[in-house]
């Protein structure tokens, strides 16, 4: 059973990580901003990429492999409650059955492990194995985005998948979210929760299915719970410097190359 309390646990002392300057309303605007394609820019990494910090982030990950994998598996289950992410994954044809999903996410875990283990050589970033791997991820994103755009034009893209076979999607998960939130210590004034997916009906109207918000939420699956509550995913004794390196080093930089527009993000 996934421990969804990682979403709502009220921590007395959080690591002093950088706060995002983008407010929630701005993040919602991301549903109308498409993924950046490879023709939009030529930079491999953003100008603030710090390879030294990335190496420190790799060290933290390698010292807590079980926790990082646990965080990813929990994160992807939570991200699948996002209807646009779910619809895009089902449309791709690689996540529409248990066996396909198992292969897909096992391959993703292996790829992440390799990103952590392979050397980020300062002098050879242009031809580095990790960079080439991230470029391939970008190409996959581009391919899916183009397919979705074509299906939208053809009228063959059917979003908002609510049911698969005889099972309603997310019904129990949303119920678990509400229960965990009610049992949490988060002050009610600080809560922002929607008891069902009705909020998406308005926000996603006329939005592109494969957009900046979906990319940002997907990236959250890799680092969100580690940043919010490291010990809940077995990342013990992590220093603020280590968490800073893990979050601000390799992942924020690879989001740039994988299609996320950091001007918005």
User: Can you give the pLDDT at residue 226?
Assistant: 87
For the segment 74-85, the average pLDDT, to the nearest whole number, is 81
Point out which residues pair with 167 in neighbouring strands: 164
Residue 168 phi/psi, 5° resolution? -75, 135
Task: Give the other-Cβ count within 10 Å of 170's Cβ.
Answer: 17
Alpha-carbon distances, residue 209 vs 33, 40, 75, 78 (angstroms): 10, 19, 20, 18
Is 60 exposed, middle or buried (CB count within 10 Å of its CB: 0-12, 13-18, 19+)?
Answer: buried
> Residue 185: pLDDT above 80?
no
Angle CA(176)–CA(76)–CA(231) in degrees, nearest 5?
Answer: 75
Lowest-pLDDT range of 33-42, 152-161, 211-220: 33-42
The model's pLDDT over 125-182, given as tens digits with 9 standing for 90+, comes to 566 787 788 778 878 888 888 898 899 889 888 776 666 666 666 667 667 777 877 7
CA distance 100 to 145: 20
Nearest to 213 by CA among 261, 250, 177: 261
- The pLDDT of residue 265 is 33
- The highest-confidence range among 45-54, 210-219, 256-265, by mean pLDDT, is 210-219
Q: What is the mean pLDDT of residues 57-70?
A: 89
**pLDDT confidence bin for 112, thresholds 50/70/90:** confident
Q: What is the pLDDT of residues 118-134, one digit of tens each?
A: 876 655 556 678 778 87
pTM more than 0.85? no
* CA-wise closest residue to 76 among 257, 232, 247, 217: 217
Pick the closest to residue 31 from 93, 88, 90, 95 (CA basis). 88
Residue 256 has a pLDDT of: 45
- pLDDT at residue 3, rounded to an integer: 44
- Asked if 33 contacts 212 with a C-beta cutoff of 8 angstroms, the reply is yes
Q: Residue 154: CB partners within 8 Å, gap ≥ 6?
A: none
For 163, phi then psi, to 5°, come to -140, 140
């Amino acid at each position: 059973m996934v421990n969804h309390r990682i979403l709502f646990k009220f921590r007395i002392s959080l690591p002093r990580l950088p706060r995002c300057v983008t407010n929630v309303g701005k993040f919602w605007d991301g549903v109308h901003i498409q993924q950046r394609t490879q023709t939009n820019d030529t930079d491999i990494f953003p100008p603030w990429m710090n390879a030294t910090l990335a190496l420190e982030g790799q060290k933290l990950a390698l010292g807590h492999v079980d926790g990082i994998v646990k965080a990813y598996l929990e994160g992807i289950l939570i991200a699948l409650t996002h209807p646009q992410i779910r619809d895009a994954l089902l449309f791709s044809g690689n996540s529409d059955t248990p066996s396909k999903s198992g292969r897909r996410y096992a391959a993703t875990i292996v790829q992440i492990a390799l990103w952590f283990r392979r050397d980020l050589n300062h002098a050879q970033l242009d031809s580095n194995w990790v960079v080439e791997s991230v470029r391939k991820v970008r190409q996959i994103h581009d391919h899916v985005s183009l397919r979705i755009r074509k299906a939208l034009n053809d009228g063959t893209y059917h979003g908002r998948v609510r049911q698969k076979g005889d099972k309603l999607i997310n019904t129990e998960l949303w119920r678990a979210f509400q229960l965990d939130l009610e049992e949490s210590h988060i002050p009610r004034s600080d809560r922002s929760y929607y008891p069902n997916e009705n909020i998406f009906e308005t926000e996603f109207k006329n939005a592109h299915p494969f957009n900046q918000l979906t990319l940002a939420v997907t990236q959250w699956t890799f680092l969100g719970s580690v940043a919010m509550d490291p010990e809940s995913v077995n990342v013990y004794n992590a220093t603020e410097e280590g968490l800073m390196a893990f979050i601000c080093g390799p992942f924020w930089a690879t989001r740039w190359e994988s299609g996320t527009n950091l001007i918005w993000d």
